[in-house]
Amino acid sequence: MFNWLAIILGALIWIIAESLLYNPMHAWGKLWARESGMGERMKEQKMTTGDMIFTFGGTAVAGVLMAIGLNHTVQTAKTAIGSTFGVNPLLSTLMLAFLSWLAFYGVGQFVLAAYSGQSKKLIGLHMVNGLIGLLLMGLMIGLFA
């Protein structure tokens, strides 16, 4: 039931997308760095090896777990319904990625960010970045589903 190629490629594209979106080498990433305070923190200190392992390793694990969940949701929908909502697998996977973001990822991000006192801009950045990442993951899983 697990399509490991789709899962690994979905996780990989999510990791790449998130790395690019949060990279302060461009205007979008600079806005995130300013709003989150990471720009100032990174000027004052270097990441330790342990910090890098935790940050990038955690990102990789999160990507794999999300890809497993999305792939399993797509496969379950195909099995239970006979097809995924009567549309082609790529569109249905994108729809399921959007619904996963809407129901779980987006809600979780919003609640966590709002209650931790993040600015509205930062909350918006996290929400948009998560949506872009999950849609790209859905695209990759849909292509190989």
Q: DSSP readout, 83-114? A: SSTTS-HHHHHHHHHHHHIIIIIHHHHHHHHH
Q: What is the pLDDT along the chain (145 residues), one digit of tens a residue?
A: 788 999 999 999 999 999 898 888 888 888 888 888 776 666 767 667 888 789 889 999 999 999 999 999 888 877 776 655 567 778 888 999 999 999 999 999 999 999 999 889 989 998 999 999 999 999 999 998 7
Question: For the chain, how many structural domains are there in total?
Answer: 1
Token pair, residue 76, equals 């379950």
Enclosing domain of residue 98: 4-144
Whether residue 93 contacts residue 118, with contact meaning beta carbons closer than 8 Å, is answered with: no
